[in-house]
Amino acid sequence: MTKSSGKGALGRRTFLRGTLVSGAAVAVGLPLLDAMLDRHGTALADGGALPNRFGVWFWGNGVRPERWTPGGTVDWTPSEELAPLAPLKPWVSVVTGCEIKTATHPHHSGMAGILTGAHFEQVGTTRDTIVSTLAYPSVDQIAAAHHAGSTPFRSLEFGITRFRGTDEGTSFQHLSHNGPNNPNPSEYSPARMFARLFGAPVDAQVDLARQSVLDAVGQQIRALSPRVSRADRVRLDQHFESVRALELRLAAGAASCTVPGDPGDFPDVGGREALEEQNRAMSDLCAVALGCDLTRAFSMFFSTAGSGVVMWPVGASNGLHQLNHDEVAPYPLVHAATVFTMQQLAYFLGRLRDTPDAAGGSVLDACSILCTSELGEGHTHSNREYPILIAGKGRGLLRGNVHHRVDRVNASVAVLTALRGAGLPHTSFGRDEDYVYNGRVLPSPGLATTTFDALLA
C-alpha cells in the first residue's frame, strides 16, 4: 500500500468543522488515514510514532477463581467464566496467581493496589468500615500524562452500570484519579459522551435526534475525498457510517426516554438497568473515539468496587455485592454474573477488533488494555488469585493468547507489563510493598524486578 510522500499530506489533527442549525460549532475527528502516514506506513508523515493506546476495563467484586482460571499456557483453553472471550483469544492474555501485597482492607486495598500499586489513603470512617481515596494517580492517568497534548482529549472515562455502592470514599465510586480525592468521574450518558466527542450541544438528547453532525460537515467530507487515496476514501466512508449508526441509536434512545430528568439514553425499565444496551452504546463510542485518535488513554468502568448492580439478566434480584456475601457454594448466580460480565467485555473488545486501523489491523491491535477487578474472590473478599487480563496487541508489543500462571507474585508486575505493552517507557510501577521495577537502578532488596516477558512479543 502506498503511503503519503509528504506532498499534500494531512496533519494528524485535521478536523472537519461545521455549524449546526442551532448555531453550535462542531468538530469531527478523522480516523488515521494513509495521507497522514509516511511512505512506508510505519510512522506519521511528520515523523512521529504511530499512536498506541492504553486502557482499563474494570468490574467489581472479583470472580470465582475455580471457574475462572483457564487451562494451558500458549493457546489457553477457556474456562467457564472466560468462555465468552474464546473468539478473542489471539488478542487476550490471562495472568493468574497474582496478589495485592499491600492488602489490609479488601475492597479499598484491591482498588488502590491494582490501579496505583500502592496503599489506599484513609480519609475517615463510616459505620463499621473506612472511607478511602487513591493516594496516587491511577494507571490510566499515568498513560494520559505520557500522551498529554497529542490528542484532543487527555483521557476519556466511560461508565456502564451506575454506582450502587456505599459511602466509602472516591475509591468506591470512581476509577480514574489524578490523586487523593481528585477523581475523573466516568460519564454514564451515551448522549453526553457523544456530544463531548463530536461537538453537539451537551444537553442534546432531543437535538441529537433532530440534527445530524454529519450533515453539518457533509460538504467538507466531499471536499476532502479528492485529496486522499481510494483506500482512505473507504476508511472515511466506514468511519462516518459508524458515526451515523451511533447517531441513529442515540436518537432512538432519546425518543424512548420517558423518565423525566434521566441523564442517560437508556433509562431503567421496571427498575432494571439497561445493562447490555448501555454497554453496547459506550463500547461503540469508545471504538470510534480510539479510531479517530481522539484520545490514547481511557477507562471503561463496567461496575464499581463493591458494586451493588443487580444482574437481572442472569436471574439475580439482589445487588451483586450482597449476593457475594449471602450466596452459598457453588455460587451459581455469582458465577453467572461473571459470565455475563465477560460477555460485555467480549462485545467491547470485539468492537475494537472490528474497527479498522489505518496502519493495518484493527484498533484492538493498537491497544494494551488492563482488564481487572478489586477482588480476587468475592465471597471471601480475597486480594489473592487476582483476575487479570491484558488485551490487545500493542502494535506488536504484546503476544496475545497466553496464560501466564505465577505463585503469589505482586500484581503490579502485570500492570507494568500492560504499560510496556502500550509502548510506554516506564520502568517501574507502584510504591512500598507493591513497587516493581524493570530498569537498571537497583531498588530496595527483595522487591520484584521484572515484567511478565511471556506476554511481551
Give pLDDT tens digits for 80-98. Answer: 999 999 999 999 999 999 9
What's residue 310's pLDDT? 97
Residue 201 pLDDT class (50, 70, 90 cuts): very low
Cis peptide before 445 (omega within 30 of 0): no
Q: Is the pLDDT of residue 178 over 80?
A: yes
Give pLDDT tens digits for 134-151. Answer: 999 999 999 999 999 888
What's residue 255's pLDDT? 39
CATH architecture for the domain at 51-188+295-455: 3-Layer(aba) Sandwich (3.40)
Residue 19 pLDDT class (50, 70, 90 cuts): very low
Average pLDDT, the chain: 84
Residue 56 pLDDT class (50, 70, 90 cuts): very high
Domain spans, the chain? 51-188+295-455
Residue 215 pLDDT class (50, 70, 90 cuts): low
Average pLDDT over residues 55-75: 97
Average pLDDT over residues 100-122: 97
Kindly calculate the radius of gyration of the chain based on its CA atoms and give it in whole angstroms.
22
What's residue 238's pLDDT? 62
Residue 172, classed as helix, strand or coil, is helix
Give pLDDT tens digits for 320-335. Answer: 999 999 999 999 999 9
More confident residue, 215 or 102: 102
Residue 242 pLDDT class (50, 70, 90 cuts): low
Residue 337 near residue 298 (C-beta atoms within 8 A): no
What's residue 405's pLDDT? 97
Average pLDDT over residues 58-82: 97
Residue 240 near residue 222 (C-beta atoms within 8 A): no
For the chain, how many residues are written? 457
Average pLDDT over residues 65-79: 97
b or e along 402-416 (b: 16 or more beta carbons within 10 Å of the residue's beta carbon)? bbbbbeebbbbbbbb
What's residue 20's pLDDT? 44
CA dist., res. 204 & res. 183, Å (int): 25
Average pLDDT over residues 196-206: 53
- H-run or E-run covering 123: strand 121-126
Q: Is the pLDDT of residue 422 over 80?
A: yes
Q: Is the pLDDT of residue 161 over 90?
A: yes
Average pLDDT over residues 176-181: 97
> Minimum mean pLDDT among 176-180, 187-191, 218-222, 346-350: which range?
218-222
Q: Is the pLDDT of residue 126 over 70?
A: yes
Q: Is the pLDDT of residue 170 over 50?
A: yes
More confident residue, 445 or 256: 445
Q: Which of 235, 208, 209, 200 is nearest to 221 (CA)?
A: 235
Q: Which of 385, 378, 400, 372 is nearest to 457 (CA)?
A: 400
Residue 203, classed as helix, strand or coil, is coil
What's residue 257's pLDDT? 26
Cα distance between the two ends of the chain = 25
Q: Is the pLDDT of residue 33 over 50?
A: yes
Q: Is the pLDDT of residue 24 over 80?
A: no
CA dist., res. 188 & res. 303, Å (int): 11
CA dist., res. 426 & res. 141, Å (int): 13
Q: Is the pLDDT of residue 428 over 90?
A: yes
What's residue 259's pLDDT? 28
Q: Is the pLDDT of residue 3 over 90?
A: no
More confident residue, 236 or 7: 236
Give pLDDT tens digits for 361-384. Answer: 799 999 999 999 999 999 999 999
What's residue 25's pLDDT? 52
What's residue 246's pLDDT? 56
Give pLDDT tens digits for 263-307. Answer: 347 888 888 999 999 999 999 889 988 888 889 999 999 999 999
Q: Is the pLDDT of residue 153 over 70?
A: yes
Residue 102 pLDDT class (50, 70, 90 cuts): very high
Average pLDDT over residues 168-192: 95
